[in-house]
Structure 1
Amino acid sequence: MKSNKLKILNDPIYGFTKIPNSLLFDIIEHPYFQRLRRVSQMGLSNLVYPGANHTRFHHAIGCMHLMQNAVHVLRLKQIEISDEEANALYIAILLHDIGHGAFSHALEHSIVDGISHEEISLQFMKKLNHQFEGQLTLAIEIFEGKYPRKFFNQLISSQLDIDRLDYLRRDSFYTGVAEGNISSERLIAMMNVANDSLVIEQKGIYSVEKFLIARRLMYWQVYLHKTGLSAENMLVNVLRRAKELSEGGAKLFASKALFFFLNTKISKENFTDSTLEIFSKLDDYDILSAIKEWTAHSDRVLSALSNMIVNRKLLKVEIQENPFSEEYLQKKISKMMTKMEFSEEEARYFVFQKTIKNQAYNPLLPIQILNKNGKLSDIAKASDQLNLQALTKPVIKHFVCYPKQMKLAQS
């Protein structure tokens, strides 16, 4: 029996969302895409915001819905977009995050650190293009910025792209942080094209201001929340330690896919089709089940870190404008070495310093406002909101992590 491929999904934010054709339906049904149901959109942020359990799958479907709205709006404004181009835009935005690993960014900074998620996304798209007999060729051109119509790529990747319009609103919804609740529909309604660039009409200026301020607030309150930073870095460290032990010959519980990445040094050169196939089997479930088993591992660093993550006994975080002195850090490391009888290398898994950066608006990639006289101006200059000029300056802060008590959580 032939299945009905013109499905309607019910999204908690946008309501009914259409899958516009059978090709998109088949891509969504593909195991590569279905893996995104098992990859959290916000890593371990649910340890801070209990509702933040949404996935990359939710986000990708939301992006496809918003892209349909964008194409509809631009066509109403006499911007010619063929059915083939529209379909390529839907595919490109649907697959823009398909290369994300388990817990989103943690793998990139630990066991799959020789290649970025954007490069893996492109590899997935090329593999799917082969399987779908070239039907993704135009989508790949747009994704790579090689298609002559520049504004198509800006819809996928820019400072006011469909990706951001979905994730800010979606992450705001699931975390309950109201400051990120932007009006994505209003912003899309104000979109236009001038000189082959994506622009926002003058009457949408306040919506853009709200979008940029919402982005800044979401970074400080959610994405760079100090408890979230602690959890994310502990996850990176537990995977780094597991890889170090595994490469040294230690036996560790791991699924086949996780075992491969723990025992293989990854680079762009060796990320072949067979590596991609193994990567497509790796998701949050592999990592969490391994960490639960590692709580009882004989290596004290691995078991302590694993226990702390499982039981939410996270490292304490201090944030300040200037770097912490090496003396301050060394004091905490020495204390840890004495108390836990760790080597300095082992202690540094629990005591470390890093930086965070928040730049809500990058003037080198401007959001252009289309004035009523047809002239274009950068939002930072067009706005009478003094804050916007301040948002162009990157804010860099330094943070240090260390155990709350110098006695680590053990099972």
Structure 2
Amino acid sequence: MLMERINRDLKGQITLAIQIFKDEYPKKFLHQLVSGQLDMDRLDYLRRDSFFTGVSEGNIGSARIIKMLDVKDDHLVVESKGIYSIENFLTSRRLMYWQVYLHKTSVTLEKMLVNALMRAKELANQGKELFASPALRYFLYNDICKEDFYTKSEPIDNFILLDDNDLWTSLKVWSANEDIILSTLSKGIINRNLFKVEVSSTPIPKEKKADIISNICKALSISKKDARYFLASSSLENNMYKKEDDSIEILYKDGTTKDISQASDMLNISLLSRKIKKYYTCYYRFENVKY
């Protein structure tokens, strides 16, 4: 929907790019370059995020991987001499996900921001006046569903105007709001007084969850219903390689190809591609409250 809107504004100049992205172009290997196991976005963001976060494990040899790419039967393949670069890429991707993208701080900040926006939306539905930029106000004070983005122009018009400044400024103002839930969440994000995060291999026991909710209710003098804004429990999943989605084929000099899971002689790709699931619990910690 957003791509079509941009394409209309550009008078059809990115029609070909959209066809490739949607896998509607006859040359299928081009789609793999923009949406696949070895797409250019992944090769770019791993190196870029590794540099800016200081996590050296993400520093892959993207230039060599690109140099080793070839096409066979309209499918993207990698020359056999580039197999070790691919192994390093897959390992680096997994490490970056667990060390950066799914890091506990990222998870808890996301949950706090989502909960703050949910509370702001609830207050807006109650008719409470909240500070917000025009674009953010549009979404707070209007009930917008997914279908509206396809049938109306206003949702997209306002969505493309949103950026970090809209949210950050609103959070600063909301930190002084009379609503204890919205102000506490907003101040927590601004002052980095973040939810405590506990990660385990099993879901949180019901008894512990009940204790946390009880402590939150006492600390803020709120109901159990409202305490849900200060507790979140869910799971994180990640796997390094999804053969069923888009395999990485290694091309040998005799013209034959093998999937990386069969060609690799260093890593157990089948083991590393197994989906890992971790359970996490985020909850707000108040001073002088024991959990």
Which TM-score band applies after superposition, normalised by the shorter structure?
over 0.9
Query: How much does 1:374 deviate?
Result: 1.0
| 1:31-42 alignment runs, 5 A limit | none
Query: How much does 1:241 deviate?
Result: 0.9
2:103 aligned residue: 225
- Root mean square deviation of aligned Cα: 1.4
> Cα deviation per residue 1:142-192 (whole Å; 9 max; x = unaligned)?
111111111111101001100100111111010000000111111100111
Rounded Cα–Cα distance in structure 1 between residues aligned with 2:133 and 2:226: 25
Rounded Cα–Cα distance in structure 2 between residues aligned with 1:386 and 1:138: 38
Query: How much does 1:129 deviate?
Result: 2.1
Contact in 1 for aligned 2:144/2:155 (Cα 8 Å): no
Rounded Cα–Cα distance in structure 1 between residues aligned with 2:93 and 2:227: 35
Among all aligned residue pairs of Structure 1 and Structure 2, give the percentage whose two residues are the same amino acid.
49
Report the secondary structure of 1:188's partner residue: helix
1:319 aligned residue: 199
2:182 is equivalent to residue 302 of structure 1: yes
1:394 aligned residue: 275
Q: Which stretch of structure 1 is more off in the superposition, 361-370 or 252-261?
A: 361-370
Report the secondary structure of 1:198's partner residue: strand
Rounded Cα–Cα distance in structure 2 between residues aligned with 1:347 and 1:213: 40
> Cα deviation per residue 1:256-304 (whole Å; 9 max; x = unaligned)?
0000111223323211223211111111100000000000001100000
Q: Report the AA paired with residue 395 of structure 1.
A: I
2:210 aligned residue: 330
TM-score normalized with structure 1 length: 0.68
2:49 aligned residue: 171
Report the secondary structure of 1:349's partner residue: helix
1:29 aligned residue: none
Contact in 2 for aligned 1:336/1:406 (Cα 8 Å): no
Instruction: Specify every segment of 5 or more residues in structure 2 that has no aligned partner in the other structure, as ranges.
Output: none
TM-score normalized with structure 2 length: 0.95
2:264 is equivalent to residue 383 of structure 1: yes
Q: Report the AA paired with residue 189 of structure 2.
A: I
Rounded Cα–Cα distance in structure 2 between residues aligned with 1:209 and 1:277: 43
Rounded Cα–Cα distance in structure 1 between residues aligned with 2:287 and 2:238: 31
Rounded Cα–Cα distance in structure 1 between residues aligned with 2:10 and 2:153: 16
* CA pair 331-238 structure 1, distance change in 2 beyond 3 A: same
Contact in 2 for aligned 1:335/1:406 (Cα 8 Å): no
Report the secondary structure of 2:241's partner residue: coil
Report the secondary structure of 1:206's partner residue: helix
Query: How much does 1:247 deviate?
Result: 1.4
Rounded Cα–Cα distance in structure 2 between residues aligned with 1:136 and 1:303: 44
Report the secondary structure of 1:265's partner residue: coil
Contact in 1 for aligned 2:219/2:286 (Cα 8 Å): no
Rounded Cα–Cα distance in structure 1 between residues aligned with 2:265 and 2:31: 29
2:252 is equivalent to residue 374 of structure 1: no
Rounded Cα–Cα distance in structure 2 between residues aligned with 1:282 and 1:261: 10
Query: How much does 1:372 deviate?
Result: 1.7
Equivalent residue pairs, number: 286
> Cα deviation per residue 1:179-233 (whole Å; 9 max; x = unaligned)?
0011111110011111101111111100000000000100111011112211111
Rounded Cα–Cα distance in structure 2 between residues aligned with 1:366 and 1:176: 30
Looking at both structures, which has the greater relative contact order when contacts are Cα pairs under 8 Å and sequence separation is at least 6? Answer: 2
Structure 1 moving runs of 4+ over 6 Å: none
Contact in 2 for aligned 1:340/1:407 (Cα 8 Å): no
Report the secondary structure of 1:348's partner residue: helix
2:223 is equivalent to residue 343 of structure 1: yes
Query: How much does 1:339 deviate?
Result: 2.4
Rounded Cα–Cα distance in structure 1 between residues aligned with 2:12 and 2:34: 20
Rounded Cα–Cα distance in structure 1 between residues aligned with 2:44 and 2:121: 34
1:361 to 241, 244, 249: 241
Rounded Cα–Cα distance in structure 2 between residues aligned with 1:159 and 1:407: 49
Rounded Cα–Cα distance in structure 2 between residues aligned with 1:318 and 1:131: 47
Contact in 1 for aligned 2:87/2:267 (Cα 8 Å): no
> Cα deviation per residue 1:329-371 (whole Å; 9 max; x = unaligned)?
1111111112221111211111221100111111212111112
Q: Report the AA paired with residue 210 of structure 1.
A: N
